[in-house]
Structure 1
């Protein structure tokens, strides 16, 4: 099944016992928005809220890093997210943080995870039902699982840069990639990893907030100099929009790994190689 599903697909199955809906909305601090508060005001009926900053590794100062499989299994069980159900994740932007939740689910062994194409924005524009308030799901048992092929850490990225065993693809803006614009998080160096390709994540998203069609996506990756036949690892500022690129690649049948720490980790490592320019 495709990694993204349409609003029509979800509307037809909204009350199905085999479908779970997840609001994965998250906002950058500078946006001054509260994803959970907005969820309580309006969400797709039955949706539970997945907070990427809460369901995360508590033992690091890096933002929303993956928790242990055991911790994730407990949190997913509390949200009623069974691996036997089709899990549809959305966000308020269209496709952004929902992709991070989708990738997290995939990394934790969920093979039936999908993103709602166009998210809450498209759902509401079509006049589909919403509700407010808290949702109290029935708890389910979830066994810990992990798919290491979908995740990379700093040590593995160092090896990739030394051996050329994969292509790093950076989802940040061209100005941040080149080092012309400062990083929004204080204390980080500017620039990019040697040999990385730059594909700002907005380029894989259409004007209506949906993921661009497969044909368009192939052209976008080609224009960025990315060979879809080679191993790919996506990166960004903190692992959120890197997941958007991973989702776009999944639409093309390409499985990419995500560098979880991304530039928040890499740009803060004093000995990590960094270059500037385009």
Structure 2
């Protein structure tokens, strides 16, 4: 039984609805550079039937020097038209990535006002483990359709807003990076970044949200992960990580817990760690 079919769907649900005329399936895999994996090449070789590729780096703000920042509405709309996705379509995003990057695609759709979007629980691995077929031939392109986003700026925060939250505590900051990176004990994978975390932030490593199969944990375990980190789920939360990818898993988990006052710090540590004018903290929260 699914806890929240509006934001997370099972392999069984997808198999039943795969041929629905209003379903649009997207592979949103994204990998850290150190893995040397090419998500587009992997998609071209094996994917769930009917899927198209959602390129997180391309569906972004090309005018920013930060990685994969949220796209301007007109850029998002152009990609949706190319993919043949309409504003009323049911979108399901999945990945084959340790970063659980489909959650970032889910958040991007939500930011653009697209409510009918869900992530496939367990991603491609869960699909293949259930014995379902994969497609290998050239994906069929859909006819372009009109798409007009309805952006929801309340779902995103910039550095200035996060600095205020860090100082006055009006919004809690929750960081999805590993404990070692959060404490400043491990080097950052991106060169030139300081080690540590945003002052007053709490740490809920993204791995706490998923089980060994890659499925998101049950609601009681998600709630415990946040509460054990000192997060008050009755108060607003800003999610953060290295570059805005795994922070989206925090946002999705909070959505499943019924937490609506959640925003994502899009620049995350790629921005904060590079700016010497912004204060940092080290050690435990």
TM category, shorter: over 0.9
Corresponding residue to 2:41 among 37, 40, 54: 37
Alignment of 1:1-278 (within 5 A): 1-93=5-97, 96-132=100-136, 133-255=138-260, 256-278=262-284
Return structure 1 stretches of 4+ with deviation > 3 angstroms. Answer: none
Shift of 1:107: 0.2
Q: Deviations over 1:48-69 (max 9, x none)?
A: 1000111111111211001101
Give the whole-Å Cα distance in 1 for the aligned partners of 2:220 and 2:164. Answer: 32
Give the whole-Å Cα distance in 2 for the aligned partners of 1:94 and 1:274. Answer: 27
Bigger Cα displacement from structure 2, 139-148 vs 192-201:
139-148
Give the whole-Å Cα distance in 1 for the aligned partners of 2:232 and 2:115. Answer: 25
Q: Give the TM-score normalised by the residue count of structure 2.
A: 0.95
Count of equivalent residues: 278
Q: Deviations over 1:231-276 (max 9, x none)?
A: 0010000000000111111111113211000000000111001011
Gaps of 5+ in 1: none
Give the whole-Å Cα distance in 2 for the aligned partners of 1:153 and 1:147. Answer: 14
Shift of 1:2: 2.8
Q: Give the TM-score normalised by the residue count of structure 1.
A: 0.98
Shift of 1:94: 7.1
Shift of 1:93: 3.1
Shift of 1:86: 1.0
Give the whole-Å Cα distance in 1 for the aligned partners of 2:167 and 2:178. Answer: 25
Contact 1:94 1:210 in 2 (8 A): no
Gaps of 5+ in 2: none
Give the whole-Å Cα distance in 2 for the aligned partners of 1:106 and 1:84. Answer: 13
Contact 2:99 2:246 in 1 (8 A): no
